[in-house]
A and B are shown apart, each in its own frame.
Chain A
Amino acid sequence: MATEMLGFTFEVGAASAWLIWILPFVAALIIPGIGKFSKHATGYVAVGFALMSALSAASLLPMALEAHEVHDQISWIHSISLKAGVLADPLSVIMANVVGWISFLIMIYSTGYMKGDKSITRFWFWMMFFIGSMQLIVLSDNLLQVFFGWEGVGLASYALISFWYRDKKKDHVGTEGRTVLGLLDYYSPTHAGMKAFIMTKVGDVMMIAGMLLIFLFAGTFGFRELLHDATWATTMSSQGLLVPAFILLFGGAVGKSAQFPLNEWLLEAMTGPTAVSALIHAATMVKAGVFLVMRLAPLVFALSAAGILADQFFEIILLVGATTALLLGLQGMVNSEIKKVLAYSTGSQIGYMMMVLGIAGLSQQFVNGYTAGFFHLISHAMFKASLFMAAGSLLHVVGSRFMTDMGGLRKNMKKTYAFMWAAGLGLMGAPFITTGFWSKDSIFGAIYTSGHPWAIPIFAIAVLTAVITAFYTTRMLGLVFFGSKSKHIQKMEEEGHHIHEAPLSMWVPYGILAVLTIAIGLIGLSFEGGLHELFTNYLEGTFGIHSVHEIENSILPGFLDGINPVALIASLSAFAVGTGLGYVFYIGRWADPVKFVNSNIFFSGIHKVILNRFYLNAIVYWCFVVAPLWLSRGVFRYFEKTAIEYGMNDGVQKAVGWSARVIQGTQTGVTQSYLFVFGAGLLFVVLILLI
């Protein structure tokens, strides 16, 4: 659709695609200026621009749902003929909508949550900067530009994690005084921000190495250019560099999405304001890794269809995803800080997405796994953002991050209670009515039917993780809303604090997302069907990936067409077992979990290992913080300060002084000694001549 305006011809679609990410940056630029005059106004500007950005994204939806795409480029670094551009294909448009609308809701939430904060201007600046960078990742048409957004979200994440940079005690995470392997498990916001930035940077340098490798052979960073002429891949493959390059790129995704082994930063990231955790560390930024994989996977799969094998790439994704899903899920079961539980859960759920994207590339039916991964991304973004915002409300009201300081809140906060249940059911995968159920089920189905030799063990891990997920979600809900009120709350009430519902601007956003979780869940199967069809067309049209027609299974009733019965049974029973166990311990409170854990040394041992984060965090610190610092100190003391400084500098100085003194010492002024030396010298010369 071309429109002419003021003599310029431009594509309306392309213009919206540019605007999606430019608008938030514009807002970020003007907000500090506005903040000088009115802090209050900055919030309106931020929400307004977030809305406009989301609307631009929405305007592209009709086009994307037809599986069309807009690709617009401008010249950027002319001297090496690089172009900047936007690529609005179905993948990026849907993602841009998820990001845009969830950010918009979270911005509304923030107006309530951050009310009265002294540094509110800085908050809005970084939030808008974040949204712009995130949309830049989503809409870029080349890797270099993606990297700009990539580091931009990292920077925003760093700044927002450390938002409360005064390091007050209440803003820390972890338990004060608790140590693991001799290192404190208690982090200040500024420490946490730094940790997040540096740890993700490790992934980023891998990503940049991968990018540069591809650029070296292909001469372009563009996604479409890479696809159209695949001779670079043949060359790389023949040199054995193709798979390493993509695995390095995946390294960036591992860092950003907090996957094993770069997962430890996400927990401490919870020092940021909860709105930040909801937006950056649950709904959007941590999905950037998944998005990157979704950008690259069809390309790699199309290459393997052309005979260039890259199975190891998908195998790595699969293994990393499965490990993370289980590892972080387990830790979610024992933690007592509500945001940390949600953070563990986020990492674990992203592990699911990675897992299924990996399996997609290893099976014949690429589109199944691809759709399942994206569907889960969408549904997780909704319910996890909702849960985080609700948790923020709880923190706001209760003033403590520990669930043990809550309890029995269902009467005081009815709306939050209801919405948290709805979103929580999504996370647990409550059958037939939640998006979480359908997306998880499609993941199970994709894994089970992949036909890969590892399918069964991976399937087992996936189901086990689902049980764990249902369990810790129930535990969280039980600890917060059920049972009797904690001492902390009793004390608050005695002091005259009335425990009340959060304000309207706060509960409406998470209410909307919770309702959506159920609403889309009710039509979940057809939603998934639509997504499946769209991606089938997209993958076929753009990448030439054909899907094999499946033989429908007829055991199940009509409305469950396309569902694998084994997967269905697995997800139903996972929900039942996990929720049941959770109910027994935390809602019905028929058994005391503390007694149960302490009942024998085996359970308490496992509990301790999980609570100590499998010692991974401590090991990372010992190896990459303590040891290098120790080494640097040693080199500084014993090399820089001695060999270099003393040896070269003072040494030369002393040597010169010393030799001067020696020479000076010979000038005694005593004639006898001069004559003696003269005679000795003469004798020496004569002797030499004689020999």
Chain B
Amino acid sequence: MEYALLQAVILPLLLSPIAYIIGRKIGPTPAMWFTFGLLLYVTVLVILSALSGTTAEHYPWTAQFGEFGFLLDGLASPFAIIIYVLSTILVLYSKPYMIHRFHEQYEEERHEVVSSNGHSTIIESSSLSNYVNAKSGLYFALYLVFAMGMLGTVLSTNLIEFYVFFEIMLIPGFFLVALWGAGPRRKIGLMFLLWTHAGAVVLLLGFLMIGLTIGSFNFADIKESEIPHDILMLSAIAISIGLGVKLAVFMFHIWLPWVHGAAPTPISALLSPAMIGIGAYGIFRLIVEFLPHTFADLSIWFHIWGLVTMIYGGAMALMQDDIKRLLAYSSISQMGYILFGIGSMSVLGLSGAEMMYITHALGKGILFMMAGILIVKVGTRNISQLGGLAGKMPITAVCAVIGALTIMGVPPTSGFMGEWTLFYGALETAIKDGSTVRAVTFGLGLVATVLTMSYILWMLKRVFFGKLPQHLEHVKEGSWYMTAPMMVLAGFTIVLGIYPDIFFNQIIPYMSGVLGV
């Protein structure tokens, strides 16, 4: 298939105005199906390309930056597949959630109009549907660009291209949060933009250092050239910090609970598992693969940094009452796992880290969808006001439990496959190097899994079990648009947990190649 990857990246961008027009002129449902169909098509393209092995496409770009290429190899394909599968599925979920949100906001804005004018404005009955149409058109258009930005990042073959896509996904992200977020949404949107942009700038500094030193930004050239040691170290640190902000590792995590808490839930479900994990992709590609010697020096710091993030995120998650913030802190903790795995510097450890990305995307995707259903159907996101909902929304509860098991790493969910390989990698390096520090971090990492389990189970208990409060007597199950996507992901995590070769077949050979084992 020629141009498959190009289509996969460019089509959503090119056709996003059409999604806007359809939404505006016809309504949210056709816009949703259009977006869904488009994303489904490009997802299939990506999956087919991945099945046919490593795929690369090269297109000319400017002389200064080098080529504009796409590469789908053992590292990129799991990321690409997960990003697009999740994006496709969440389109369906978006419709009921966003319509609920538009209605809410419509009420809010109408209120504002009324109070600011001092006298009431008569609002025609049709204006609500116009409002919803316009907003949903905009939403799906932004959504397409957002998804495309994420995919472009993991497929790019050039530092500048990587940076461009890295920033492209920020812009729709900012608008999605600022327009339809919860709470002080504009402020939080800005916070998102500024923090991650600051990170991206540091990243760009690292890129420029490398690119200007060797005179090319192409990945292929970087791999082959010798970079002076001092520049190497400096640029590696800059890149790590830049990606660390995206990963929201400890000390750079401040933006994440706010943004993931406030973003509209389908976007949280994309941001949290898919987008922030791209930081991990960057580390794999840019540091592990391109700067292996520097990686060897840095790995222990990744390891420790990951461990601290795991424990810190978990401990903070214990303290949350807002369910989405709890999940956001949980994402921080899970990103710690990934960084921990990367720091293990062994084939299975790195493979486990990538598996953790996949598994976290599935598990956290489910849990955010659960939170969204609660917001729509119950109308609250405070855990203290919830309880005993398992009987009222059984499908949501079952899927949430499966998602929770995935995050906890309990077999037969894919979480276990990620976790044991990751910890095996950590142990392997600890024993091979005879390193006490690594042995201790391995042990503490295992303790962190108990912490993970504690906050997740406690959340489930407070949301779904126990006494049903009076005001929740009439809660109903979410619509099929909302539950079916959860069920798909829940099924997928179990299949993957029993048969991890689906992804391991690609990941493990790649990692062995990179580490030269």
A interface list, Cβ under 8 A from B: 77-80, 144, 147-148, 151-152, 154-155, 162, 165-167, 188, 190-191, 194, 197-198, 201-202, 205-206, 208-209, 212-213, 215-216, 239, 241, 628-629, 631-633, 635-636, 640, 644-645, 648-649
Q: Which residue of A lies closest to B405 (CB)?
A: A155
Hey, which chain B residues are within 8 Å of A241, CB to CB?
A: 431
- What secondary structure prevails in chain B residues at the interface with A? helix
- The answer to whether A79 touches B501 (Cβ under 8 A) is yes
Hey, which chain A residues are within 8 Å of B507, CB to CB?
A: 79
Measured CB to CB, the closest approach of chain A to B200, in angstroms, equals: 17
Number of A-B contacts (CB under 8 A): 111
Hey, which chain B residues are within 8 Å of A635, CB to CB?
A: 312, 315-316
- The answer to whether B504 touches A636 (Cβ under 8 A) is no
- The answer to whether A166 touches B388 (Cβ under 8 A) is yes
6 other A-B residue contacts (CB within 8 Å) besides A80-B504, A205-B449, A628-B315: A78-B501, A147-B411, A194-B461, A198-B450, A636-B319, A648-B254
Give Cα A276–Cα B320 distance, bound, in whole angstroms. 34
- The answer to whether A215 touches B424 (Cβ under 8 A) is yes
Hey, which chain A residues are within 8 Å of B468, CB to CB?
A: 166
Hey, which chain A residues are within 8 Å of B446, CB to CB?
A: 205-206, 208-209
20 CB contacts below 8 A, A to B, read: A77-B501, A78-B501, A78-B505, A79-B509, A80-B504, A144-B420, A165-B464, A165-B465, A165-B466, A166-B468, A197-B453, A205-B450, A209-B446, A212-B427, A213-B427, A216-B428, A632-B315, A632-B318, A635-B315, A644-B253
Hey, which chain B residues are within 8 Å of A648, CB to CB?
A: 254
Measured CB to CB, the closest approach of chain B to A627, in angstroms, equals: 12
Give Cα A418–Cα B57 distance, bound, in whole angstroms. 80
Known: A205-B449, A645-B254. A198 touches B457 (CB 8 A): yes
Give Cα A216–Cα B467 distance, bound, in whole angstroms. 47
Q: CB of B458 within 8 A of chain A?
A: yes
Hey, which chain B residues are within 8 Å of A147, CB to CB?
A: 411
- The answer to whether B465 touches A77 (Cβ under 8 A) is no
Give Cα A152–Cα B388 distance, bound, in whole angstroms. 24
Q: CB of B410 within 8 A of chain A?
A: yes
Give Cα A162–Cα B431 distance, bound, in whole angstroms. 40
A79, A201, A212: the one within 8 Å of B453 (CB): A201
- The answer to whether A640 touches B450 (Cβ under 8 A) is no
- The answer to whether A632 touches B465 (Cβ under 8 A) is no
Q: CB of B208 within 8 A of chain A?
A: no
- The answer to whether B504 touches A167 (Cβ under 8 A) is no
- The answer to whether A148 touches B390 (Cβ under 8 A) is no
Give Cα A648–Cα B255 distance, bound, in whole angstroms. 10
Give Cα A144–Cα B423 distance, bound, in whole angstroms. 14
Known: A191-B461, A205-B449, A208-B446. A148 touches B412 (CB 8 A): yes
Give Cα A191–Cα B467 distance, bound, in whole angstroms. 12
Hey, which chain A residues are within 8 Å of B420, CB to CB?
A: 144, 208, 212
Hey, which chain A residues are within 8 Å of B7, CB to CB?
A: none
Interface residues of B in 206-225 (CB under 8 A from A): none
| Binary per-residue interface labels of chain B (306-324) against chain A in the complex, 1 for a CB within 8 Å, 0 otherwise | 0000001001101100000
Give Cα A209–Cα B420 distance, bound, in whole angstroms. 9
Give Cα A167–Cα B466 distance, bound, in whole angstroms. 5
Give Cα A631–Cα B312 distance, bound, in whole angstroms. 11
Hey, which chain B residues are within 8 Å of A629, CB to CB?
A: 318
Hey, which chain A residues are within 8 Å of B453, CB to CB?
A: 197-198, 201
Give Cα A635–Cα B451 distance, bound, in whole angstroms. 15
Interface residues of B in 309-344 (CB under 8 A from A): 312, 315-316, 318-319
Give Cα A198–Cα B416 distance, bound, in whole angstroms. 16
- The answer to whether B254 touches A644 (Cβ under 8 A) is yes
Give Cα A152–Cα B315 distance, bound, in whole angstroms. 26
Q: CB of B447 within 8 A of chain A?
A: yes
Hey, which chain A residues are within 8 Å of B316, CB to CB?
A: 632, 635-636, 640
- The answer to whether B319 touches A632 (Cβ under 8 A) is yes
Name the residue among B420, B423, B449, B465 with the largest chain A CB count within 10 angstroms: B465
| Binary per-residue interface labels of chain B (428-466) against chain A in the complex, 1 for a CB within 8 Å, 0 otherwise | 100100000000001100110111011001100100111
Q: CB of B144 within 8 A of chain A?
A: no
A152, A154, A162, A188: the one within 8 Å of B412 (CB): A152
- The answer to whether B457 touches A194 (Cβ under 8 A) is yes
Q: Which residue of A lies closest to B191 (CB)?
A: A649
Query: What are the 4 A-B residue pairs with the smallest beta carbon separation, nearest first?
Result: A165-B465, A190-B465, A632-B315, A205-B446
- The answer to whether A79 touches B319 (Cβ under 8 A) is no
Q: Which residue of A lies closest to B458 (CB)?
A: A194
Give Cα A334–Cα B405 distance, bound, in whole angstroms. 38
- The answer to whether A148 touches B500 (Cβ under 8 A) is no
- The answer to whether A77 touches B500 (Cβ under 8 A) is yes
Measured CB to CB, the closest approach of chain B to A327, in angstroms, equals: 24
A167, A216, A644: the one within 8 Å of B431 (CB): A216
Hey, which chain A residues are within 8 Å of B504, CB to CB?
A: 77, 79-80
A155, A165, A213: the one within 8 Å of B390 (CB): A165
Give Cα A78–Cα B508 distance, bound, in whole angstroms. 11
Give Cα A356–Cα B253 distance, bound, in whole angstroms. 52
